[in-house]
Amino acid sequence: MHVLLLSGTGWVGSTIVNELLDHGYDITVMSRGTTRQGFDASRTEMVTCDREDLEDMGRKLRRYAKDVIIDVISGHYSAENTEFVADCVEGRVGHYLQCSSTGVFAPLAAIPGNETDPITTCAQFGDGWFRKAEADRVILRRMEKGFPGTILHPSIIMGPGAYAIDNLGDRRTTFLREIKDGSPIYLANGGTNLMQMVHVKDLGRAFRLAIEHETSKGQDIIISGVRAITARRYVEATAKLLGCTANIRNIPAEELLARKDIEISPNDFAFFMEHMSFDLSKAKKLIGYEPSYSLESMMNEVIEWTRSQGML
């Protein structure tokens, strides 16, 4: 089976490519060609294309889209761009898969969240989240009319290849070193906000499972780890794996945001403070997905990768 990936050279895209290659899929990767891919390019067909050059992209989509297409970064572009991609491949491929995020459901109306929750505008968390939500709406509307689409909503993605999410909702390269060195780790409002993470390899496997299960068509599916934990528990567990005790400082969110000695992205911080806790029943039922990484096994890999980067 042939799979075309749109922007498959980044961290997530490369993981999907490796998962599919390991299971015998024929892969074409279409990207700008500016990111060093994390897979053996000799095992794939590489196509250079600027997604914002609609004429060139349309021509290449009509040439290379055959069986399955995975759009890894639709939410990075406008809703019109996603609509254009869908127009080009409809009737040409048997399955379109889109990588979204559980963030489009924030703020959650109830815990745990699930796929029946409405997609919000996400505008309060920044333009990036707004675009993701708009891209999802495009495909959801088309799926209602029979478009063979699947939207996967991963939660916080973790694993080797990216720095750990930090206590402020960013991916500070020094975060693990700060924990190990005993630097103050500020947690807003006691660190009671819930986090639910997914290993990047589990996400790659979920895309393969979605391709292999016809029941995924016409569905949006949440993909995450085993369970949610508080931000405080996350920091404490990470410190234990590092062989130390975290120097946690509780602080009101307003006071933390007002500090001048700490660089904080207000949008990232606002999103981080929203509860992320999700029910995986639909993923288990429709595509047989089960998380394979615990928090500890996931973080051990992240710690070792961070150490390999000279940041620990």
Domains of the chain: 2-159+197-225+277-293 (3.40.50.720)
Task: From residue 34, give the alpha-carbon distance in Å to each of 9, 10, 31, 37, 161.
Answer: 9, 10, 8, 9, 17
214-246 pLDDT, tens digit each: 999 999 999 999 999 999 999 999 999 999 999
How high is the pLDDT of residue 187? 97
pLDDT at res. 11: 94
Predicted TM-score (pTM) above 0.75: yes
Residue 146's pLDDT is: 97
Asked whether 95 and 148 are in contact (CB, 8 A), the reply is yes
Tell me the C-alpha distance between 282 and 240, whole Å.
33
- The confidence score (pLDDT) of residue 258 equals 92
In the prediction, which pLDDT does 68 show?
98
- Residue spans of the chain under pLDDT 50: none
Q: Which DSSP state fits 163?
A: P
Give the pLDDT confidence score for residue 9 in this predicted structure: 85
Q: Are 9 and 38 in contact (CB under 8 A)?
A: yes
Question: How many angstroms separate the Cα of 289 from the Cα of each of 101, 203, 212, 222?
Answer: 17, 10, 12, 10
What SS3 class is residue 66? coil
Determine the distance from the C-alpha atom of residue 205 to the mean position of all C-alpha atoms in its chain, rounded to a whole number.
Answer: 13
